[in-house]
Structure 1
Amino acid sequence: MDSITAHQIAQEIDLIVDSAANTTLDLRYDLALEANVNGPYQLMLFAKKCKNLKLLIHYSTAYVNGEREGLIYEKPFTMGESITKEKVTSHSPSTKFPSLNAASELDFVSKLKNAIKNNGFEQIVKDLGSERAKLFGWQNTYSFTKAIGEMVIDNMREDIPIVIVRPSTITTSYQEPFPGWIQGFRVIDPTIIFYGKGELPGVLANPNLPIDVVPVDMVVNATMAAIAKHGHLKIPELNVYHVASASVNPLLVSQLFDYCYEFFQSVPYVNSKGDQVRVKNMKYFDNISNFSNYIFEQLLKQHDEVRDLTEVEHSKMQTRFKRKLEYLENFSKMYEPYGFYNGRYSIFSSSL
């Protein structure tokens, strides 16, 4: 916005709700840092100009807790922390592990961009995000950079009252504006749609573990409750709220796909040819090799059902199957950590 508008807004507003982020799990590291780390940094600079500001709400994600396991408390991040550092020092308190610093990560990527001039830059920086995330104890670039963004907010907040809302996997609404509402194609939606189309008859997941989901209207309600509680107090503290289900009302992975099976049996997906797709019970795998073999077998069965193909048509179908298998492998690998996740989010607020 222009400086005049920004100045006027800064004089008038008393509440900021920050829901801006890039949620692509494997986004290029430089782009993820720009959106999820530099974005909060710029917003905090603006917030400090807002003389009447009573509260800043920041949407994060429960998955900023990375590879933590067991019952996970609503604990804010401070600059220098990392999941790996927690694990290392808990076993050997005297062991040194590098601190995680937002400025260092931004500077590191900036220097890398200047050093790499070839066409492979985009893939190198994309891979770098995953490597840095796993080094410090996160599953992917998204959750990693969102955690760094939380650190930036805590580091800059001074006397600004902050509430960080951490939803788990957001799904369709429970009641408002009407049951089943959602906008866009969200995190868990592609898996369900692929299953309904008969393209994903297996998943990399433990069927006996909970999958943490929460309706979008419950996330909104929790946010409004947090605003009501903290908005008038103007206490210069940082409060964290998990908005999640697994610790109080768990839904198992197997239950989710049982419900999906029942739904698509009663309301089958209709393909482009007008044929109804009949789904099978979901199969579960604990390694990519067995998963890939099963998916390929199912694709071949689809091929066997197609009669009287010419050699050219046969070749095109084989190529299409290979591309589909590669896509489903990459898609499943991306979500694999959440299919075997052993964390449970507490829902009792803590503050600093």
Structure 2
Amino acid sequence: MLAHTLYDCKKFFDFKTEIIMHMAATTRFDEPLRVATLINVRGAREALLLGKACKKLKSYVHVSTAYAHACDFRINGDVLEDFYKSPVDPEALIKIAETTDEDRINKFADNLITNWPNTYSFAKAVAEETVKTLGEDMPLCIVRPAIVVPSKREPRPGWVDISNVYGASGTVLGSCMGLMHALYSDNVTQVGLIPVDYVNNTIIASAYETAKRIADGDNSIKIYTITGSTRNPAVWGKLHQIISTDVRKIMSPAAVFYGFAWQTTNPIIFWIYSWLLHLIPAYVIDAICFAIGKERRFVKLYKKMYKLQVVLSYFTCFQWRFIDDNTAKLFDSLSEADQAIFEFDVKKIDWGEYMLIWYLGIRKYVIKDGLQGTAKGVKMQEVFKYLLCIIAPLYIYSLYKLLYFSLLVLCYTVRYVLSIKLF
């Protein structure tokens, strides 16, 4: 039965499939190199081999990432819509992942992914080499989206999958809920944000364009970068200002405290901020929870939050100029009707308006408050603000007294130990 089913599937793909859009991947930045290789590199190879077997294939779209070649030596430089030299041979990397123990791979992983911030972007860079090699005789293109954020229009304004709370949406959510008060970011950074429906529309349009181009005799592999950071940059400091002003007018009643945040690009200062604003209060709250028999979860939450900020800091503290000429030409080539249906012109994004859509989407699809009680949420922010003015001085004074007492005890201890040794 299984063999018969597989045969039918192969037969279906061989003779009926005309378009393949390969976007399956693990997007976890901290994925072990072995796992990232097997899914993102070997997976890309197997999908390409499947595409090669399709007799009627007219278009194959490989979805990569704009950050595949946003290496540290290209910071503040251009990232072209072109192939770059792979950091390692794809087949060799796949072979290592298939035959080597994960612990052994992890020992040399850091040296292998030098110049790349994480295993995700590294594996995506290697996968593009697989596409270049295996896709030479295929009707193929690559789409490179940047940081994918909630939809601007389709299927609903602000739509976001709840799993995205571990990405950029998690930062917006944490700040607006009054949970995240330390940000590892630079105000002048032009963040590579792009709504998910813009990405989808680019993929659809590129699939059509590839089939048309191949039919006209152009067998080259086109790369389309889709991001707002070059033609319509979203500056992080401006976005943070919008969150602090306009978004505060539509706050959710589910917020637990006043939404404010201290920013820094210094890892030591960020560590200090995290302890002062997150971890110390978390330990106090968890101690209270333990005393009353409730679940202790705040320390664990803030440790995850700290890790998330460190991982994202590469993208919130540095920037690149992503050349997107192919994408701009692709949009301009569409008819007026198609441009209206398949919108992906990044110049038309009003980031002030979009931030409101983004937050309302988080409220609807993540917080799930039904977009009710906004007036109460705004009023509670005022209450939390005055409460912060009372708590902050008491908190600082308590920390001062605790530090003073600890130093006093340390001094007496040292004096006592020295006096014993002297006599």
Q: TM-score, normalised by structure 2?
A: 0.67
Deviations 1:195-217 (A, max 9, x none): 12222212111111111101111
Of the candidates 229, 242, 258, which is equivalent to residue 278 of structure 1? 258
Query: Equivalents in 1 of 2:195, 2:325: separation in Å?
Result: 19
2:163 equivalent to 1:185: yes
Query: Equivalents in 1 of 2:289, 2:54: separation in Å?
Result: 69
Query: Equivalents in 1 of 2:54, 2:129: separation in Å?
Result: 21
Aligned partners of 1:55 and 1:231 also within 8 Å: yes
Match of residue 172 from structure 1: 150
Of the candidates 206, 212, 233, which is equivalent to residue 232 of structure 1? 212
Match of residue 317 from structure 2: 340
Distance 1:303 1:56, change over 3 A: closer
2:224 equivalent to 1:241: yes
Query: Equivalents in 2 of 1:223, 1:184: separation in Å?
Result: 22
Query: Equivalents in 1 of 2:44, 2:230: separation in Å?
Result: 29
Matches within 5 A, 1:1-352: 2-67=6-71, 68-69=74-75, 70-77=77-84, 81-82=86-87, 100-113=88-101, 121=103, 125=105, 128-133=108-113, 135=114, 137-186=115-164, 187-234=167-214, 235-271=218-254, 276-280=256-260, 282-299=261-278, 302=281, 313=291, 322-349=299-326
CA positional deviation for 1:168: 0.5
SS in 1 for 2:136: coil
Distance 1:343 1:304, change over 3 A: closer
Root-mean-square deviation over aligned CA pairs = 2.9
CA positional deviation for 1:172: 1.4
Structure whose CA Rg is larger: 2
Query: Equivalents in 1 of 2:154, 2:234: separation in Å?
Result: 21
CA positional deviation for 1:268: 3.2
Query: Equivalents in 2 of 1:195, 1:145: separation in Å?
Result: 31
Query: Equivalents in 2 of 1:142, 1:331: separation in Å?
Result: 15
What is the letter of the counterpart of residue 208 of structure 1?
V
Aligned partners of 1:200 and 1:295 also within 8 Å: no
Query: Percent of pairs identical after alignment?
Result: 21
Query: Equivalents in 2 of 1:129, 1:338: separation in Å?
Result: 21
What is the letter of the counterpart of residue 216 of structure 1?
V
Query: Equivalents in 1 of 2:178, 2:33: separation in Å?
Result: 34
Distance 1:158 1:294, change over 3 A: closer
Query: Equivalents in 2 of 1:156, 1:170: separation in Å?
Result: 27
CA positional deviation for 1:301: 7.8
Structure 1: stretches of 5+ with no match in the other structure = 83-99
Q: TM-score, normalised by structure 1?
A: 0.80
CA positional deviation for 1:27: 0.5
Aligned partners of 1:129 and 1:140 also within 8 Å: no
Aligned partners of 1:269 and 1:276 also within 8 Å: no
CA positional deviation for 1:17: 0.8
Distance 1:244 1:329, change over 3 A: same
What is the letter of the counterpart of residue 202 of structure 1?
A
What is the letter of the counterpart of residue 174 of structure 1?
K
SS in 1 for 2:121: helix
Distance 1:279 1:4, change over 3 A: same
What is the letter of the counterpart of residue 237 of structure 2?
S
Distance 1:268 1:28, change over 3 A: same
SS in 2 for 1:56: strand
Distance 1:261 1:204, change over 3 A: same
What is the letter of the counterpart of residue 177 of structure 2?
K
Structure 2: stretches of 5+ with no match in the other structure = 328-423
SS in 1 for 2:144: strand
What is the letter of the counterpart of residue 189 of structure 2?
L
What is the letter of the counterpart of residue 332 of structure 1?
Q
Distance 1:52 1:294, change over 3 A: same
Aligned pair count reads: 314
If asked which structure has higher relative contact order (CA below 8 Å, sep 6+), I would say: 1
Match of residue 336 from structure 2: none
Aligned partners of 1:27 and 1:141 also within 8 Å: yes
Greater helix proportion: 2
Bigger Cα displacement from structure 2, 232-241 vs 249-258: 232-241
Query: Equivalents in 2 of 1:37, 1:228: separation in Å?
Result: 25
